[in-house]
A and B are shown apart, each in its own frame.
Chain A
């Protein structure tokens, strides 16, 4: 079905493209949220991603999966937006993207959410290469091969980047987020 939508969208069918957007908007929006740290910016970035993708559809190889291609554009769009340094720091200061999830076990859920949010804050302090690989692999739960396709690198490079990023993350958490670090030790 996705192949058919892509074929029709390549012919200029915007309705078919809207269906494709609907299928992938959550993944694109979430990656943009992680990278930009602000839901409003992420929504703008997601829209820009899909509009760019539509205009570049003729260059997309339909034999390849669509999602990595889209997420690769998302990462580029987010990177460009973060270069607008003022917006980036303002977003960092707000740190407001997390909304509580409905749950039956409020206490354990809130601890989990605090840990997840604190982990995200720690990742935000890493360089962009480390951030991207951690977000794609652990937050978005993508496979190594999909992550490699998005980052346009070999799978071995993904593994070595992950290893370096995890080690830097551990240092950041140990130094700047001691409560999270102690939680891990517990």
Chain B
């Protein structure tokens, strides 16, 4: 019996069926997986940040279990350090990394293409088109991972993640923890070991490049028209919708590409188009392989595609209305915390963080770079201003845990006297004032987040002191 599942539910189902034993993510993914995992006896490990999340999953895999981690594109940036090394060490039990690129910038600071990571880190990457493939590809990814002793990334986009389609469930495969002797020469990436492993990575790349040509998820579908389209992921669905008669090569492994199979396809079809969102990754590789094609000369490097956009390009059917840029919730922009109001009144530059909206400070931040960046930005900013105290770093409890702590430790080492405001919206399970004191920060003030006068006094005092100071605006229960 088929049932409709959202893509993220289907990923969870695939993980369950594949016999995953270790699952990690940062807590933002709680709602994402709990529904599918909670009843299945798999207890997720919630990491403070994405680098740790990936390290947990790698630890689980090296320990012999099938392991999975869920990240978004920006999280993969942070996790890129263990990512690259894990390609060298290989894994023991299977390791699958789920990454979601925010094509269209619906909820992120950047719009970036994680396919580059697969190529750069020498890690295979699959890209499914719907929920059924999401479930199915998870299982295939584990097979590839174990067969080739390599992590496998499965790439999604925000649009696909927010979509759902019919899924036919299968039984769970009961996996065993794989016994393997954990040898330092394979798993300890000292330079002498890494140099040896690097050669094994290259050999594996060659084997994988050949293997993918015969995979069923890389397939040619011939139609009646004399247009050939190479595509992957959700774009495949748009192509089938808008160009039902076209010849289509559906790429399931975006890295490595099935170059030989695509070359054969290109010989049997007419003018060849690569239709891909964001960067011309498939197009560049086809051109490098001497396969003539069009791509980014027709489609932009940014934003989402859709069946409507393909109809506009290929059949000259105009789009009815201009595309609207994503906006934040009116409620979020409208909500202004007492802390934000005080900072605005004080007229200081606010070096914010990615939880600025969540803590009601979306309208007062001057800079917002990435998660955990408030402290580092404030340090550089303060130094550039000749140590004139005209800026504060502002973050929430989640960002503090994510990477604020290590940034603060660095600030203490430099004794650079920045002023940090932490809007403590947590449940109190982490003692932020004690952590700050333990880092060596002498000026730590805890103020009610509704007491404007006291907040202004404390922040003013921190700015005037010349020492590194932390003002914790604690949520009133």
A, B assembled together? no
